[in-house]
């Protein structure tokens, strides 16, 4: 090579990793490959939304939407439960208005506060829920017994009336059968008892009309 060209000779670049330790090109390429490999592992190693290699991936939007949906379902359940309790309390208060107040009174004197609390269930003079339900059952049982007694009396009167009519007609020693009592007729109208055939016939007729 000419002397002119030697003036433009590219100097040999010597890269050091430490003082006095040269690094060749193949070692640089190897280090570059290692860096790429580490970065690739950092991005691929956190598929569950965690951290790996110092790189953090954002949380999935799907998980956030599921969390919001669960909160909405919980609020709906709480709202339904609140409505159910309100409905029960409302019906219990209706029972309180139907049961005679005498059922909530104590047979003995209620002059002292303890006696009043015992008879009503609360110290402010108002029956509690358990007291209302218990007395409602007692009142229903009383009404059932009253209906049974009146029904028996009605049957006896119907038989006596038939017997008198047959005596007037000169017919005796004939088996008598009482007609349905008013209680039996009323029960039949709501589908209860031996005289409920007409009620169920009407129900079946309505069902058939709704299907057609």
Average pLDDT, the chain: 72
pLDDT in tens, 71-101: 777 777 788 889 999 999 999 999 999 999 8
Any domain includes 200: yes
pTM: 0.50
On whether residue 207 sits in a domain, the answer given is: yes
What 8-state DSSP symbol labels residue 103?
Answer: G
Tokens 């049961």 locate to 99
185 within some domain: yes
For 212, the domain range is 180-212
The SS3 assignment for 203 reads: helix
Residue 77 lies in a domain: no
Give the total number of structural domains in the chain.
1
Higher pLDDT, 92 or 60: 92
Residue 187 covered by a domain: yes
Yes or no: say if 181 and 154 are a contact pair by the CB < 8 Å rule.
yes
Asked if residue 62 is part of any domain, the answer here is no
Residue 97 lies in a domain: no
196 in a structural domain: yes
List pLDDT tens digits, range 179-207.
Answer: 788 888 888 888 888 888 888 888 888 88
**What value does the mean pLDDT take over residues 145-158?**
89
């Amino acid at each position: 090579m000419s002397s002119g060209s030697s003036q433009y000779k590219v100097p040999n670049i010597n890269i050091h990793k430490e003082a006095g330790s040269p690094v060749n090109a193949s070692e640089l390429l190897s280090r570059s490959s290692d860096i790429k490999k580490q970065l690739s592992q950092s991005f691929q190693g956190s598929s569950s939304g965690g951290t790996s290699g110092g790189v953090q991936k954002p949380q999935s939007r799907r998980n956030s939407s599921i969390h919001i949906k669960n909160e909405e379902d919980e609020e709906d359940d709480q709202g339904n439960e609140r409505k159910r309790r309100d409905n029960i309390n409302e019906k219990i208060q209706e029972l309180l208005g139907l049961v005679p107040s005498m059922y909530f009174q104590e047979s003995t004197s209620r002059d002292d506060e303890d006696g009043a609390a015992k008879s009503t269930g609360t110290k402010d003079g108002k029956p509690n829920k358990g007291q209302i339900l218990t007395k409602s059952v007692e009142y229903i049982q009383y009404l059932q017994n009253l209906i049974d007694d009146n029904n028996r009396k009605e049957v006896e009167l119907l038989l006596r009336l038939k017997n008198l009519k047959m005596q007037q007609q000169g017919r005796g020693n004939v088996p008598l059968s009482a007609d349905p009592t008013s209680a039996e007729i009323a029960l039949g109208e709501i589908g209860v008892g031996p005289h409920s055939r007409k009620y169920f016939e009407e129900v079946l007729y309505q069902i058939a009309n709704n299907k057609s």
